[in-house]
Amino acid sequence: MTNIKIFSDLGVIVKKFHNAKRLYTIIILLCFLPFVSPAIALMAGLILSIIGIRHENIHKYTSKLLQASIVLMGFGMSLSAVISASKTGFIETVISVISVMLIGVLLGKLLKVEKNISLLIASGTAICGGSAIAAVAPILNSKNYQTSFALIVVFVLNAVALFLFPFIGHNLGLSQEAFGNWAAIAIHDTSSVVGAGAIYGEKALQVATTVKLIRALWIIPLSIVIAFMNKNENKKSIKFPWFILFFILAIFFANIFPEFQSSYEHFNWLGKRGMIIALFLIGSNITVSEIKKSGTKSFALGIILWAVISVGSLFLITQ
C-alpha cells in the first residue's frame, strides 16, 4: 500500500507539470523508437494508470489499433519460407498447440480462473506469446485487466526463458537442431526465441526461427475457432474476426507482388510499432483493483502451462 501511495503522490506532482494528452502523445511517439520494447510500453502504461494519469478518449481505439497492427505484420511474412519450414517440427507444433489449448481450458475451470484469462494465457503459451494474445483479445472482447495480465505472464516467462533455456540445453547436451525446435515450441515470443537460439548457436537460431514461423501461423485457425466458440448468448450470429482474413490476404499479396518488398518492410515495421503502442494503451487503462481480480490462480495457470509445454515438447524432441 505504501508503494501505491507513493505512486499516487507522484501522479499529483506530474499532473501539475504535464497535460495528460500531451504526455500520452510523447510516449506514443517514443514507442516508434527501437529501444522501446513491448514490455517497456506495457509497464509505462501501468505506471501511468497507477499514478492516475489517464487519457479521456484514446482507449476506445485500442482494439482497432491491435487489429490493424496484426494485418500490417502480415506483409512481413514470407510464404515460401513458411512452406519450406513446414517440414521442421510440424508434428511437434500441432501436438503442442492442441494440447496446451485443451489443458489451459481444463486447468482454468479447475482453478476457477476467468474464461477470457484462461484462453488468452493458453493462446499466448501455445502459439506466439503477445501476438497471439493481441489477436485473440478483440475476438473475446476481453477486458483491459484480462488482456494485460495475460501479457504480463508472457513477458515474465519470456525473460526467464531467454537465460534458462540455453543453460538447460547445454547441461542436457541438446543438439543445435533439437534446441532450436524446443525453443520455438516452448518459448512464447519470437524475440525471445531468436535470442535464445542466437545464444545457443547459429544452427539453433535458423531452426528456431523457421519453426517459430509455422507456429505463428496458428493464430489464423485458432482465432477462427475461438470466434465460432465465443457466440453471444443473446445472438445467433457469430462475430467473425475479419482482420484475420485481411491478415491472410496481406501475406498472399506480399508474396504475389514481391516487387514492392521495400514497402512491405515498412508496413511490417509499422505493424510491430503499432502493437507496442496498443500495449501501452492497454496498460494505461487498467487499475490496481482490476489486476487483483485476476488473482494468483491465474498466474499459476500460466506457469503450469509453460511447464507442461516445456517438459512435454522436450520429451517429444529427445525421443
Question: Rounded CA gap, 138 and 243, in Å?
Answer: 10
Mean pLDDT per segment of 10 residues, for the chain of length 319 residues? 52 54 88 85 83 76 80 80 60 79 91 89 87 84 83 80 89 91 86 81 81 77 82 51 77 88 90 85 72 72 90 85
Note the pLDDT of residue 234. Answer: 42
Q: Is residue 178 situated within a structural domain? A: yes
pLDDT at 206: 78
Domain that holds residue 243: 62-318
Instruction: Report d(CA 257, CA 27) in Å as an integer.
Output: 35
Task: Go through 207-242 and write b for each residue having 16 or more CB atoms within 10 A of its CB, e for each that does not.
Answer: bbbbbbbbbbbbbbebbbebbeebeeeeeeeeeebe
For residue 121, the model assigns a pLDDT of 92
33 contacts: CB under 8 Å, gap ≥ 6: none
Does 174 reside within a domain?
A: yes
For 3, phi then psi, to 5°, come to: -65, -40
Q: Is residue 118 part of a domain?
A: yes
In a domain, 306, yes or no: yes
- Looking at the structure of the chain, the number of domains it has is 1
pTM for this prediction = 0.67
Predicted pLDDT at 172: 93
In a domain, 163, yes or no: yes
pLDDT attached to residue 179: 92
Residue 46 covered by a domain: no
Q: Is residue 78 part of a domain?
A: yes
Rg (alpha carbons) of the chain, rounded to whole number: 20
User: Is 28 among the domain residues?
Assistant: no
Report helix angle 62-74 to 130-140, nearest 10. 130
Res 168: pLDDT: 94
Q: Which residue has the cell 510491430?
A: 272
